[in-house]
Amino acid sequence: MSMNSQGRPTAATGGGESAQFESFSGHVGLRLAEPLIYELGTVETTGVDFEALDDLELAVGGLERTSEIGCPGLAEPDVVRHYTRLSRRNYGIDMGVFPLGSCTMKHNPRLNEKMARLPGFGDIHPLAPKRAVQGAFQLMDELSHWLMTLTNMPAVALSPKAGAHGELCGVMAIRAALEARGDAREIILCPESAHGTNPATAAFCGYKVKSIPAKDNGKVDIDALKAALDDTVAAVMLTNPNTCGLFETEIREIADAIHKAGAFFYCDGANFNAIMGKVCPGDLGVDAMHFNLHKTFSTPHGGGGPGSGPVVFSDALKAHVPVPYVVKTADGFDLVEDIDDASMGRLTAFHGQMGMYVRALSYMLSHGGDGIQQAAEDAVLNANYVLASLSDVMTASFDGPCMHEALFDDRFLKDTGVTTLDFAKAMIDEGYHPMTMYFPLVVHGAMLIEPTESESKANMDQFIRSMRGLAGAAKAGEVERFSGAPYHAPWGRLDETQAARQPVLRYASE
């Protein structure tokens, strides 16, 4: 079997699925091998008819191309087939349960897609005259209203484009507030169980990060937190429900201690789907919190976005929200784009992800208040069903019920020769995307399962049967079933260390 420079079998020599069926195309049955688009296309081919370029007047001020860019050209059907074949080699929420903990990969109601594709929203342009996009502004205003209502917080910034971007927005507002009162502080406290984006955000904003340990019950060690709080601490970044899938019950006491020290409370709201309609972060003393609109309300993230991470703010921070934002006027809506002294300025070029705004509002309005509460309850119920159904064969990391995700560790694999990674890879052979592995870091060999509210009992029972079967096989010593898994995926076990340390990011022809 011959490989190209990327270590992939080439179409010309076959070897896609199985060496014994080597053929010119590399296809086996209806499982089609797929070369890179650079290998499929040629610079001579094009899928569109353009007029001869020689006659075009180029006005790029001396930046005209002097040579071919060498992009592969393909006819339209070949492009469609290429991406369709690739999509069939992938796994998505529309194929089955996607239990990736902390990522909230849930069903995206098609109603929301339909709304986002309405021409008035789908074809909108950020530079359109304000009078032409009043409906879009109205939608943003209404979305803002419901985000503030659900959290009981007085201000919101819609423009951040992902959860991590929302964290950046929140911490920049905190920094602006501290600067405004002439209070230079240099530390941000993050619990050990925090998502990596929390300490990364703090460091990116110029703060030193101090880690706060977790207690044996998976919650933040409040005594250690209080001991670390002094007048050098700018903020505490805490996730609630936390990444162990547990609600931080001492959150009010934590908020009081943070404020007493003159610091701000940033809440990572990535897990808000577990408490929406049930708990208002504003009532818990939170100063800033991002939502991952793409996780909480609609459209699971993955595949690189686009996402949306609006941030809600308390009274103490609301003066520092970024521009642009929508305001209601006597005769419609306007966009505030001018920066006053307090505002942190502009975080993004334009208003944010319109498509996500439409999907999120559509999710909220189609569920209604009761429906949103029900979705939160179902997310928690489903996670507890998984936890209770697997606790006798796998090791649950903490006692008692969980919130929206069930956390297991690798103690049940002790002495089996099977690791968390092996177990996760074997799930692929069972037809499932693996759960989140080795996160959170506070438990050894973590396996974090988030079924979300959108799975039926039948789907979960099937998933649970597969997981029980795997746990049984590992304990019965069927090591080979795990060590080389996946055996039935288009590609076998990849070298993840090399992929991370020496990523091949650019195609180079031989």
Nearest distance in Å: CB 309, ligand PLP: 6
Residue 382 vs 436, nearer CB to ligand PLP: 436
CB 415 within 8 A of CB 477: no
Site size toward ligand PLP, by CB under 6 A: 15
Give 353 or 420: the residue with its C-beta nearer to ligand PLP: 353
Provide the β-strand partners of residue 157.
Answer: 311
Smallest separation (angstroms) from ligand PLP to the CB of 484: 29
Stretch that binds ligand PLP, among 134-142, 157-165, 254-262, 342-350 (CB under 6 A): 157-165
CA 143 – CA 160 distance, rounded (Å): 14
d(CA 263, CA 174): 9
292 binds ligand PLP (CB under 6 A): yes
Is residue 191 part of the contact set for ligand PLP (CB under 6 A)? no
Q: How far is the CB of 247 from ligand PLP (least distance, A)?
A: 14
- Residues 341-380 within binding reach of ligand PLP (CB under 6 A): none
Any contact of residue 162 with ligand PLP (CB under 6 A)? yes
Q: Over the range 448-463, which residues count as b (16 or more CB within 10 Å of their CB) and which as e?
A: bbbbbbbbeeeebebb
Q: How far is CA 469 from the centre of its chain?
A: 29
| 436 touches ligand PLP by CB under 6 A | no
| Chain position whose Cβ is nearest to ligand PLP | 163
Inter-residue contact 120 to 357 (CB < 8 Å): no
| Rg of the chain (C-alpha set) | 25
Q: Which of residues 83-142 bind ligand PLP (CB under 6 A)?
A: 102-103
277 vs 309, beta carbon nearer ligand PLP? 309
- Residue 195: CB minimum distance to ligand PLP, A: 4
Q: Is 129 exposed, middle or buried (0-12, 13-18, 19+ CB in 10 A)?
A: exposed
Q: List the interface residues with ligand PLP, window 194-253 (CB under 6 A).
A: 195, 197, 239, 243
Binds ligand PLP by CB under 6 A, chosen from 116, 150, 164, 396: 164
Stretch that binds ligand PLP, among 118-126, 145-153, 158-166, 178-186 (CB under 6 A): 158-166
Using a 10 angstrom Cβ sphere, with 0-12 exposed, 13-18 middle and 19 or more buried, the burial of residue 40 is middle
For residue 447, the SS3 value is strand
Burial class (CB in 10 A: 0-12, 13-18, 19+), 51: exposed
Is 99:433 a contact under the CB 8 Å cutoff?
Answer: yes
- CA-CA distances (angstroms) from residue 444 to 387, 395, 438, 448, 482? 17, 11, 7, 12, 19
What are the structure tokens assigned to 87, written together? 């999509």
CA atoms within 13 A on the CB side of 205: 29
Q: Is 309 in the site for ligand PLP (CB under 6 A)?
A: yes
Is residue 452 part of the contact set for ligand PLP (CB under 6 A)?
A: no
Q: Which is nearer to ligand PLP, 301 or 425 (CB)?
A: 301
Structure tokens at 171: 């911490």
Name the residue nearer to ligand PLP (CB basis): 206 or 305: 305
- Minimum Å distance from CB 92 to ligand PLP? 17
Residue 168 binds ligand PLP, judged by CB under 6 A: no
Binding track, positions 259-278, relative to ligand PLP; x by CB under 6 A? ---------x-x--------
With contacts defined by CB under 6 A, name the span among 6-14, 162-170, 251-259, 479-487 that binds ligand PLP.
162-170
Residue with smaller CB distance to ligand PLP, 35 or 241: 241
Asked if 433 touches ligand PLP (CB under 6 A), the answer is: no
DSSP string, 348-371: SSSS--HHHHHHHHHHHHHHHHHH
Q: Which residue has the tokens 């081919």?
A: 45
Select from 47-55, 156-164, 453-461, 480-488 the region that touches ligand PLP (CB under 6 A).
156-164
d(CA 507, CA 510): 10
Closest CB 439 distance from ligand PLP, rounded Å: 9
Whole-number Å distance between alpha carbons of 104 and 91: 15
Q: Which residues of this chain interact with ligand PLP, rule CB under 6 A?
A: 102-103, 162-164, 195, 197, 239, 243, 268, 270, 292, 301, 307, 309
